[in-house]
Amino acid sequence: MGVDYAELHDPNAEYTMRELSAETMGVRAKRGGGRDVEITDVQTTMVDGNFPWTLVRVYTDAGIVGTGEAYWGAGVPELIERMTPMIVGENPLDIDRLYEHLIQKMSGEGSVEGVTVTAISGIEVALHDLAGKILDLPAYQLLGGKYRDEMRVYCDCHTEEEADPEACADEAERVVEDLGYDALKFDLDVPSGLEKDRANRHLRPGEIRHKAEIVEQVTERVKDRADVAFDCHWTFSGVSAKRLADAIEEYDVWWLEDPVPPENLEVQEEVTKSTTTPITVGENRYRVTEERRLIENQAVDIVAPDLPKVGGMRETRKIADVANQYYVPVAMHNVSSPVATMAAAQVGAAIPNALAVEYHSYELGWWDDLVEETVIEDGSIEIPERPGLGLTLDMDAVEEHMVDGEELFDPA
């Protein structure tokens, strides 16, 4: 028999001056219009996609179920199991209070940043889907209304020869011409064959020339048919990042993503301000408190929160609001199933400064089989008018692609 994570003992969670449960806050008034609903359970199922996606479902006594998704990673289902008793009996429409309630109750277990925030994000997304179904409203309406009917998608591209500039250019052209995307991203933290030491973050001159050649060939091949970004995955030193950014300034680069590790804000700021190449950062920062520092220090040209990781839909909206005060666009990082992808698109519809949502699964033939609806078409996501996220899980597909040893959700 495994550990019962819901029963773990934590004195900090059991006694806190900032207890935000409905009982402690005195939230007892009856609600009309079918809004007097209580949460009865929260469950997870992990799907083995190109990432192990953690799908989340929140159940209610009204028989209405909300579906969300947390960013992939070990420990997330256990944390959600841990938090379930904290929201059972609560009204799922109180999304903001329940989010803050979980942040406070889980403060001793790391809710400032990291996997605990990710687990809370999955619940928060499911609450938006659930609230939309209870109120018969699409999720974007819960976030303030609509700026656009569809959300642009950028395709994260890969090839078996990722270090070959010509192969990257060939794939860029294929994705534009055959798949219909007008926004792409390629990796630059690929081996050039000139590396001497993989630990010191230093780029030798030949390595920089190699990466600049990838940028040159890809951007020259697609020209104005597509915007192209390039990802470094937090790999390089400050000096190397500045030299790389300088070397690609002459090309039509949409953005250079995560050129330095995320921990040191001062180095990030220095790199961003040293170049006219747009710099994008944000997927490894948590909640508006951390993203805010990037934006207010002008250490980022485009901010890239990952919605099911950063805190959920309302938290992403809060980040976008801060970014908008500095005229910074939002390009949402996303490696998710259709569930969190649609959640990101719903937020994108509701904010003025949305740029694009990432799609990382174009090589996975069954990605869109997980839901009954079409999500991405012609390089964009049409924002549905159906309640909540506007998606219906195909439970047969979910069951077929579950991680080994996983169990399927209970029926709705």
Residue at 91 is within a domain: yes
Residue at 84 is within a domain: yes
Quick check: helix, strand or coil at residue 402? strand
Amino acid at 169: A
Residue at 394 is within a domain: no
DSSP state of 140: H
Q: Which CATH number belongs to the domain containing residue 246 in this structure? A: 3.20.20.120
pLDDT number for residue 109 = 84
In 3D space, the residue among 226, 225, 13 whose CA is nearest the CA of residue 109 turns out to be 13
Asked if 97 and 184 sit in the same domain, the reply is: no
Residue at 255 is within a domain: yes
Asked if 191 and 85 sit in the same domain, the reply is: no
Residue at 340 is within a domain: yes
Q: Which CATH number belongs to the domain containing residue 119 in this structure? A: 3.30.390.10
Asked if 108 and 180 sit in the same domain, the reply is: no
- How far is residue 58's CA from residue 412's CA, in Å, rounded to a whole number? 10
Write down the residue that tokens 């500095």 correspond to.
Answer: 326
pLDDT number for residue 5 = 84
Is the CA virtual torsion 349, 351, 353, 354 positive or negative?
negative
- How far is residue 20's CA from residue 34's CA, in Å, rounded to a whole number? 23
Please calculate the CA angle 13-121-232 and round it to the nearest 5 degrees: 120
Asked if 229 and 365 sit in the same domain, the reply is: yes
Strands 354-359 and 227-231: unpaired
Quick check: helix, strand or coil at residue 405? coil
Asked if 379 and 306 sit in the same domain, the reply is: yes
Asked if 161 and 32 sit in the same domain, the reply is: no
Amino acid at 129: D
Residue at 122 is within a domain: yes
Asked if 183 and 211 sit in the same domain, the reply is: yes
- How far is residue 273's CA from residue 279's CA, in Å, rounded to a whole number? 9
Strand pairing partners for 42?
Answer: 58
Asked if 203 and 267 sit in the same domain, the reply is: yes
Query: What range does the domain containing 38 cover?
Result: 5-137
pLDDT number for residue 392 = 97
pLDDT number for residue 71 = 96
pLDDT number for residue 1 = 54
Residue at 411 is within a domain: no
Amino acid at 10: D
Strands 380-382 and 279-281: unpaired
pLDDT number for residue 8 = 81
Quick check: helix, strand or coil at residue 378? coil
- Terminal CA-CA length for the chain: 26
In 3D space, the residue among 249, 260, 241 whose CA is nearest the CA of residue 203 turns out to be 241
Asked if 229 and 196 sit in the same domain, the reply is: yes
pLDDT number for residue 110 = 85
Amino acid at 404: D
pLDDT truncated to tens, each residue of the chain (412 aa)?
578 888 887 776 666 778 899 999 899 999 999 999 999 999 999 999 999 999 999 999 999 999 999 999 899 999 999 999 999 999 999 999 999 999 999 988 888 889 999 999 999 999 999 999 999 999 999 999 999 999 999 999 999 999 999 999 999 999 999 999 999 999 999 999 888 898 999 999 999 999 999 999 999 999 999 999 999 999 999 999 999 999 999 999 999 999 999 999 999 999 999 999 999 999 999 999 999 999 999 999 999 999 999 999 999 999 999 999 999 999 999 999 999 999 999 999 999 999 999 999 999 999 999 999 999 999 999 999 999 999 999 999 999 999 999 999 998 8
Amino acid at 216: E
Distances (CA, A) of 193 to 159, 198, 245, 344, 408: 17, 11, 20, 37, 45
Asked if 70 and 208 sit in the same domain, the reply is: no
Q: How many domains does the structure of the chain reveal?
A: 2
Asked if 91 and 158 sit in the same domain, the reply is: no
Two tokens, residue 25? 């806050």
Contact 22, 87 (CB under 8 A): no
Asked if 255 and 211 sit in the same domain, the reply is: yes
- How far is residue 85's CA from residue 193's CA, in Å, rounded to a whole number? 53
Residue at 18 is within a domain: yes
pLDDT number for residue 19 = 87
- How far is residue 273's CA from residue 234's CA, in Å, rounded to a whole number? 17
